[in-house]
Amino acid sequence: MKDLSIIVVGAGIGGLQTALALAAKGFKVTVLEEVEEFREVGAGIRVPPNSIILSESHGVDFSRISKCVSLGNRFVDWKGKNLLDVPFQDIEAQYGGSYYFLHRADLINLLLDTVRANNSIDLRMGAKVARYDFDRPAVYLEDGEELFCDLVACSDGIKSAARDTINGKPCPPEDTGDVAYRILVPAQPLLDDPDMSHLVTEPWAVHWIGPSAHAVGYPLRDGKLYNIIIDITHDTDPSPPLSFSDWMQKHSNEELVDRFKDWCPEVRKILSLTGTYLKWKLADFEQLDTWVHPSNAAVLLGDASHPMMPYMAQGAAQATEDAACLASCLAHFDNLPEALHVYQERRIPRTAYIARNTRVLQEWWHVHDGPLKDKRDAAMATQDSDDNPMFWGSKTRRDWLFGFDARKLDADVQMPSLPPEVDAEDSVYKYLRLRRTE
């Protein structure tokens, strides 16, 4: 099927990775992106080995951008007590790829440069889709142009215009109960403080977890910046709730400084350095019935099919796995229906399991002080046990996550057991669960 004509809609991380994966298998690809140019996104992104090995296999050269190599995941409670270290020093030897901390804009630009250098990919910026006809199939642009192809790969994000049509019924984004703040601060003030410098010189992904909130921090650009993402529950959000029509806003740091005034000195110091930042509503949705249109001429990838909260740092990585798996299926099978069937059969269980684990972590990270926190902290001390409530605290789950190669269609996709979960009656999200059943 190397003569297939393929259109990829969306030039985010998932769409660009899809184009590169398809081109690496010999396909000609057109990528449509509605914006004329990308503006710098002030945020960090963690790129794990299960994504690194795939990216490198289709031509992405990470040596071209500045980065930090993760030492691992460190979990600390809101008062500063260390709860668990999961080191990643030998991760490349174990899984074949490094674990990088990158500036999101640097990653996007690297992918764009790699796409533009590939003669098998036609990247069209400023090409906004007006409507689809998946039975032809055809893509109609707002300027009136009609594009025909054999397959449309829709990687247009959580607000995908194609998802409901492909799924066969509406599947709107749902409130997760959390809002997130993405913040970058200069690293030099941290380096100048003897009590803070280790955050930059020892590049762990530090997770401060506490009552109805958590923070994750790590350095970027060879230690020149420090990235921190803050998540808090709606019921403790000091500002008015965001709507789905306006789910990203800019804010100043006063409300965050006040919200975390009782947390450990490290969190307070970082927040004191912030200026304005981007705040957005975290959303996901229930598992779709299908990722493939009945015509077998359109398919979903990435956040369009499986948006995830950031707790697993796997959203972009799973979009990259989608891209590699789709490309492998199209190259391996002789007809589209079989290729697309195998693609979704292999991808849906894995992405659904990872999305489920983001919910498990959301609950455990936000418990309040008391018996449940004590139970959690004791279980976190059981390193490399399947009873550890932190996903990476189990070697079984870690190997399953990082050691998977989405290109190999015969690879085992059996799911490990879930970590222990918070009982419904102990959840800080009971109000949200009750609202959904009303």
CA-nearest of 227, 228, 226, 229 to 187 is 226
Tell me the C-alpha distance between 435 and 336, whole Å: 42
CA distances from 152 to 8, 155, 416 (A): 6, 9, 33
Closest CA to 208 of 225, 190, 185, 232: 232
Residues 6+ positions from 370 with CB-CB distance below 8 Å = none
Bond before 137 cis per omega within 30 degrees: yes
Residues in a beta bridge with 249: 279
- Those residues whose C-beta lies under 8 Å from the C-beta of residue 438, and which sit 6 or more positions away, are none
Q: What is the H or E stretch that residue 350 is in?
A: helix 336-365
* Whole-angstrom distance, CA of residue 80 vs CA of residue 214: 12
User: Residues 263, 236: contact at Cβ < 8 Å?
Assistant: no
What stretch of H or E contains 139?
strand 138-141
* Element of type H or E holding 395: helix 395-402
pLDDT value for 250: 66
* CB neighbour class for 268 (10 Å; exposed up to 12, middle 13-18, buried from 19): middle
Q: Write down the pLDDT at residue 272.
A: 92
| Amino acid symbol at 244 | F
Q: Position 233: which residue type?
A: T
- CA-nearest of 198, 189, 155, 193 to 34 is 155
Going residue by residue through the chain, which has 438 residues, state the pLDDT in tens, using 9 for 90 and above.
Answer: 779 999 999 999 999 999 999 999 999 999 999 999 887 666 899 999 999 999 999 999 999 999 999 999 999 999 999 999 999 989 999 999 999 999 999 999 999 999 999 999 999 999 999 999 999 999 999 999 999 999 999 999 999 999 999 999 999 888 899 999 889 999 999 999 999 999 999 999 999 999 999 999 999 999 999 999 999 998 887 766 555 555 556 667 788 889 999 999 999 999 999 877 778 888 888 889 999 999 999 999 999 999 999 999 999 999 999 999 999 999 999 999 999 999 999 999 999 999 999 999 999 999 999 999 999 999 999 989 999 999 999 999 999 999 999 999 998 888 999 999 999 999 999 765 544 444
Q: Which of 104, 112, 119, 92 is nearest to 27 (CA)?
A: 119
Domain extents in the chain: 174-201+219-284
C-alpha distances (whole Å) from 373 to each of 80, 86, 339, 376 are 14, 19, 46, 5
* Of 254, 321, 312, residue with least CA distance to 282: 312
Do 258 and 237 form a contact (C-beta atoms < 8 A)? no
